[in-house]
Amino acid sequence: MKKLLVLGVGNTLMKDDGIGVHAVYELLKEKDAWAQVDFIDGGTFTQDIFYLFEEYENILVLDIVRAGHPPGTIFHLEEADLRKDEKQMLSLHDIDLLDSLSMAQIRGHRPYLRVIGIQPDTIDWGTTLTEPLARALPSFLDTARKHITDILETR
């Protein structure tokens, strides 16, 4: 079984919605630093890749999180956090991820899920990040690196 899948989620044609995908491509440039890690552009089709989840002990998702905070606010969420607050606005990506975890469990293995999320500014047509998220991208990447290191050392 593989140690960790880092999954960048989002639509790069919808401005800030694509930050997870942009981030995973930046981290992929550092692939040699983490031999036990696979990096995948999950796009918006997270439910269709549930079969990949069976291969990993841990899944780290990079995505937007709509939580009513200022744009660029970075969050760390465990799977339980995605389920506990019915008022929290989950993106379609989150719902698909939870479905994918359930399908993987039915097939015999459920990995541990952690999400690094960031509050978007604008979800609209466009291929570049808004200024607040472009400024926050280095911190988003640093947070992801910290969690990758933590997962590799502790799980």
The 10s digit of each residue's pLDDT in 42-84 is: 888 666 677 788 899 999 999 998 888 999 999 998 877 766 5
Instruction: Say which range, 9-23, 31-45, 71-85, 115-129, has the weakest mean pLDDT.
Output: 71-85
- Per the CB < 8 A criterion, the answer to whether 66 and 12 are in contact is no
d(CA 138, CA 119): 14
Tokens linked to 120: 């978007």
Q: How confident is the model at residue 89 (pLDDT cuts 50, 70, 90)?
A: very low
What percentage of the chain exceeds 70 in pLDDT? 86
Going by C-alpha positions, the residue among 8, 7, 10, 47 that lies closest to residue 123 is 10
Residue 92 pLDDT greater than 60, yes or no: no
The DSSP code for 107 is T
Q: What local confidence, expressed as pLDDT, does residue 53 receive?
A: 84
Q: What local confidence, expressed as pLDDT, does residue 110 receive?
A: 85
pLDDT per position as a tens digit, 30-39: 999 998 899 9
Q: What local confidence, expressed as pLDDT, does residue 79 receive?
A: 78
Q: Identify the architecture of domain 2-154 in CATH.
A: 3-Layer(aba) Sandwich (3.40)
Q: Where are the domains of the chain?
A: 2-154
In this prediction the pTM is: 0.89
Going by C-alpha positions, the residue among 38, 42, 49 that lies closest to residue 100 is 49
What is the per-residue DSSP string for 3-15?
EEEEEEES-TTBG
Distances 106 to 56, 60, 100, 143 between C-alpha atoms, Å? 15, 20, 10, 31
